[in-house]
Chain A
Amino acid sequence: MNVEKVVFAFFIVLAATLNFGFVYGDIDDPAHHDIYELFASVVVNLVATVLKFGDRTQIGAVHLATSLVAVLQLVAASVVWAYAAHVKGGLDPEATASVVSLSAGALLANIVSLTLLVSETVSMRR
Chain B
Amino acid sequence: MTSPIFIALRRLRAPLLMLITVYAVGIVGFLAIPGQDADGRPAAMSIFHAFYFITYTASTIGFGELPNAFTDAQRLWAIVVIYLSVLGWAYTIGSVLSLGQDRAFREAVRRERFARQVRGRSEAFVIVCGFGETGALICAALDRSNTRFVVVEKNETRVAEVDLQGYSATIPAITGDARLPENLLVAGLQHPRCRGVVAVTDDDEANLAVAIAVRLLNPRVPVLARCRDEDVAANMASFHTDHVINPFTLFGEYLSLLLRAPRVYELLDRLVGSAASPETTDRLPPRGRWVVCGYGRFGREVVECFDRQGLEITIIDPDPPADSDRPIVRGTGTNEAPLRAAGIEQAVGIVAGTDNDVNNLSIAVTARHVKPDLYVIVRQNHTANAALFQAFAADYTVVSRAIVAEHCIALVRTPLLAPFIRRVIGGEEPAAEALLGRIETLVGSERITAWSVRLNAADAPAVHRALMDGIAVDFAGLLHDPSDRERTLHAVPLMLARDGVLDMAPADRAPLRAGDEILFAGTNTARERLQRTLENANVRDYVLLGRDIPGGTVWALLTRGDGTA
Contact = CB atoms under 8 A, between A and B. Distances in A.
Contacts of A76: none
A51 B48 contact: no
B63 interface: no
Contact of A39 (B9, B10, B47): B47
Interface of B: 2, 6-7, 9-13, 16-17, 20-21, 23-24, 27, 31, 46-48
Interface residues of A, number: 15
Interface string A38-69: 01000100110011011010000000000000
B48 A50 contact: no
A27 interface: no
Nearest to B17: A50
Given A53-B10, A53-B12, A46 B20 contact: yes
Contacts of B23: 43
Contacts of B48: 81-82, 85-86
Nearest to A42: B24
Given A43-B20, A43-B24, A51 B13 contact: yes
The residue in A46, A50, A81, A82 that gathers the most chain B C-beta atoms within 10 A of its C-beta is A50
Given A36-B31, A43-B23, A54-B9, 12 more contacts: A36-B47, A43-B20, A46-B20, A50-B16, A50-B20, A51-B17, A53-B10, A53-B16, A54-B11, A56-B2, A81-B48, A86-B46
A53 B2 CA distance: 14
Interface of A: 35-36, 39, 43, 46-47, 50-51, 53-54, 56, 81-82, 85-86
B548 to A, nearest CB: 66
6 contacts: A36-B47, A46-B20, A50-B16, A53-B9, A53-B16, A82-B48
Contacts of A51: 13, 17
Contacts of B17: 47, 50-51
Contacts of B6: 54, 56
Nearest to B9: A53
A81 B49 CA distance: 13
A85 B24 contact: no
B44 to A, nearest CB: 11
B174 to A, nearest CB: 22
Nearest to A39: B47
A55 B47 CA distance: 33
B46 A85 contact: yes
A54 B13 contact: yes
Contact of B27 (A39, A50, A54, A86): A39
B545 to A, nearest CB: 65
Nearest to B16: A50
A53 B13 contact: yes
Contacts of B20: 43, 46-47, 50
Contacts of A35: 47
Contacts of B2: 56
A35 B49 CA distance: 13
A17 B46 CA distance: 23
Nearest to A56: B6
B119 to A, nearest CB: 21
Nearest to A61: B6
A56 B4 CA distance: 12
Contacts of A43: 20, 23-24
B16 A54 contact: no
A82 B16 CA distance: 24
B6 to A, nearest CB: 5
Given A36-B31, A43-B20, A56-B6, A50 B46 contact: no
A70 B7 CA distance: 23
Nearest to B23: A43
B108 to A, nearest CB: 13
A35 B45 CA distance: 13
B181 to A, nearest CB: 22
Contacts of A39: 27, 47
Contacts of B27: 39
